[in-house]
Amino acid sequence: MRHSSTLLQLSLLVLAFSAAITTAWAQQKQEDDNEVADQELIDDVRSGLHTTVSATAAWLDSFFTESVDRSAYDDVYGSLTVAPQWDEYDGFEVDSSFRARVVLPHAERKFSAVIGRGDFDDFINDQQTTRPTVIQREQADEEWMVGLGFDPVVRDDHSLSFGAGFRGGLKLDPYVRARYRFEEILSESSELHFQSVGFWRDSDGFGIAQTIEYDVALSEQWFNKFWVRGTFAERTEGVRWHASEKLYYIYHHERALGAEVWWYGETERIVPLQDYGVKALHRSRFLRDWLYLEGWVGLHWPREFLDESRQPRWLVGIEFELQFGD
C-alpha cells in the first residue's frame, strides 16, 4: 500500500514537473517570438526609411537626366531619433528629429539631396547631435525640410558647401545657406573645429551662425568635448548662444558613461541667461550595430521671466537613435 502511495506521489510529481516545463517553454517561446517580431519590426523601419529616401533622391535627380536607375541611389545615410522625456518645468514630451542625405549621381556627384525634420538651426549647421537634448526649442521650427546641397570643396581639413530648399510643409518657406568648416589637429589627442554658416529664409530674413568645437582624448577611456555656438538673425533678440561641456568614460566597446554641463540664452532678452544645468547619461549600442540607446537624469535651472524665481528642476529622458546607410 505504501509502495502504491509512493508511486502515485512520484507520478503526480512527474506530471507537475512536466506541466511546469511545458508552461515555461511555452512562455519562453512566446517571449522569443515577440522579441523576434520586435527585432523584425526595427529592421522593417530601417529598410522603409532607406527606400523612401532613395525614391525621393531619384525623383530629385530626374531633373538632371532623362533615365533614372533606382539602384544608383542606395548610397544613403542618415539618422532618426526619438526621445521621450519628462521635465519638471515643462512636463512630458516626445522630441524627435530626422536627417537623411544621398549623393545625386547624375548631378556630377557634387550635389546631394537632403531631407529632414527638426530644428532649423540644427539642420543648417548639420550638427543635430551637439545640442543638449533639454534645450527648449520653438515648436514652429519642428517642421519638415527638403533641399539640395552643393559641395564644391570637400577636403580633410576644410570644406565649403551651399544649400537651398523649403521648410514648413505646405507653407513652402524657402531658405538658402552657405557653410564653411575648418578643422585643425592640435596634437595626437586633440582637434579644433570652426564652422561658419550664413543663411536666409523667407520668414525670418538673414542670419549667421558661428560654432567652435574642441575635442580631446584624455586617455584611451576618457574623452572630452566642448562646443559653443552663437547665432544672430533678424528673428533673434541679440545673439542666441548655446554652450556645452561633455565628459565621457568609455568602459566598453560602444558603451559609455558621461556627464554634461550646458548653458543657453539670448543676449537681449528680458532674462539673458534662460537656462543652465547638469546631467548624467549612459549611451550604448542596442540590439543592432546601427541602433543606439541613451538615457539621462539631471537638474537644470530655467528662467524665462523677471518675476520668476530660478529653481532647480528635475529632468529624465531616454533617446533611441537609428542610423541607416553607410
Q: Please give the pLDDT value at position 3.
A: 43
Q: Which three cell numbers stand for residue 209?
A: 551662425
The pLDDT value given to residue 250: 94
Between CA 224 and CA 250 the distance in angstroms is 11
Q: Which DSSP string do the residues of 224-253 spell out, in sequence order?
A: EEEEEEEEEETTSSSEEEEEEEEEEEEEET
Closest CA to 102 of 36, 146, 45: 146
Residue 262 lies in domain: 2-325
Measured distance CA(246)–CA(240) in Å, rounded: 20
Cβ atoms < 10 Å from Cβ of 138: 9
pLDDT along the chain (326 residues), means of 10: 44 45 53 56 82 76 70 77 92 88 70 80 69 45 76 88 80 88 94 95 87 95 95 86 95 92 94 96 91 95 93 95 82
Cβ atoms of 210 and 182 closer than 8 Å: no
How many domains would you assign to the chain? 1
Closest C-alpha to 235, from 303, 140, 131 = 140
Q: Is 104 within 8 Å of 114 (Cβ atoms)?
A: no
Phi, psi (degrees; rounded to nearest 5) at 306? -65, -35
pLDDT of residue 300: 97
β-bridge partners, 282? 257, 295
What is the spatial distance between Cα 145 and Cα 160, in angstroms, rounded to a whole number?
21
CATH number where 238 lies: 2.40.160.40
What does the pLDDT read at residue 156? Answer: 83
What's the CA gap between 218 and 216, in Å, rounded?
6
